[in-house]
Homo-oligomer: A and B are copies of this chain.
């Protein structure tokens, strides 16, 4: 699996960037260090000037790759979802049983991220923290509909749709497959956030995982007649 992953390029919608950051050394440095810097100081305090200082490069050079920091965030989160989608498909593809497949899928999208050395310039553990803390800001904007029309969120949508489909495969009569799928994906990020900052608002801690919570939630919900 390690070897196979190594050869996969995660393709990001080219409307998100001015120049493909994966096409040059400087571009890859921008990606690598923007992840670290956003994690360190937060998205609000992050600027291209600070990133330029950090990588010993000029602010104006960074603008040649991304129009602004919002687009960079959209790129980074898209890359993350692309990376996760690959894992999702790889891990579930060969499973013949619908329940096994869904269970594995929930595990993949809710588990704690481990380092993956396939992409040397991207630290997936740090990127996962950015997705937890900052990714909502990529779509909670006034421009969301236009950006959605331009395909900025296709990968994310595809993951939710894949999950929803797996849910339907387990229980064709369930009325809310898409809502449940989107709840799992956003909800898992939220449970990780709560674990770190509002531990009283979650039961997830060192001994109980978001994976366990969501797996139980989903399998208790499916294949049951509504008792409400």
Q: Which residues of A contact B (CB under 8 A)?
A: 41-42, 44-45, 103, 133-134, 136-137, 139-142, 144-145, 148, 153, 157, 160-161, 175-183, 186-187, 190-191, 193-194, 197-198, 200-204, 208, 210, 213, 215-217, 219-221, 224, 226-228
Contact = CB atoms under 8 A, between A and B. Distances in A.
A220 B224 contact: yes
Given A178-B203, A186-B186, A224-B224, 11 more contacts: A136-B136, A161-B201, A175-B208, A175-B216, A176-B208, A176-B213, A176-B217, A179-B202, A182-B194, A216-B228, A220-B227
A200 B226 contact: no
Given A140-B136, A208-B175, A148 B198 contact: yes
A180 to B, nearest CB: 7
Given A175-B203, A178-B201, A183-B190, A44 B157 contact: no
A219 B227 contact: yes
A191 B151 CA distance: 20
